[in-house]
């Protein structure tokens, strides 16, 4: 099975539900083919689709030099 090398259950930067703090919400339209991929990754890693989406967005913003890398 294909595994995304940049997203791994042990290296997720997004907070888990246990440590979740309420913050502003961003809404976006996600096309069906992208949704299937996000749901698949979510199930494989046992994390929420929201966490996967946060990780993908953060990773891509860092790669595009729009956001400072953590650490």
Q: pLDDT digit string (tens) for 19-42?
A: 667 777 778 888 999 999 999 999
Looking at the structure of the chain, the number of domains it has is 1
Please count the residues of the chain: 71
Asked if residue 14 is part of any domain, the answer here is no
Asked if residue 25 is part of any domain, the answer here is no
Alpha carbons 53 and 34: distance in angstroms, whole number: 10
Asked if residue 24 is part of any domain, the answer here is no
Asked if residue 23 is part of any domain, the answer here is no
Asked if residue 57 is part of any domain, the answer here is yes
Residue 1: pLDDT band (50, 70, 90) is very low
Asked if residue 12 is part of any domain, the answer here is no
pLDDT in tens, 41-69: 999 999 999 899 888 888 887 788 766 76
Asked if residue 8 is part of any domain, the answer here is no
User: Angle 49-65-43 (CA atoms, 0-180°, nearest 5)?
Assistant: 15
Residue 62's H or E segment, with its range, is helix 49-63
For residue 22, the model assigns a pLDDT of 74
Asked if residue 52 is part of any domain, the answer here is yes
Structural domain for 56, as ranges: 30-64
């Amino acid at each position: 099975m294909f595994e995304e090398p940049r997203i791994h259950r042990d290296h997720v930067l997004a907070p888990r539900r246990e440590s979740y703090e309420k913050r502003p919400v961003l809404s976006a339209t996600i096309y069906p083919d992208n949704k299937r991929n996000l749901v698949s990754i979510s199930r494989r890693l046992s994390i929420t689709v929201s966490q996967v989406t946060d990780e993908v967005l953060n990773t891509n913003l860092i790669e595009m030099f729009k956001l400072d890398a953590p650490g």
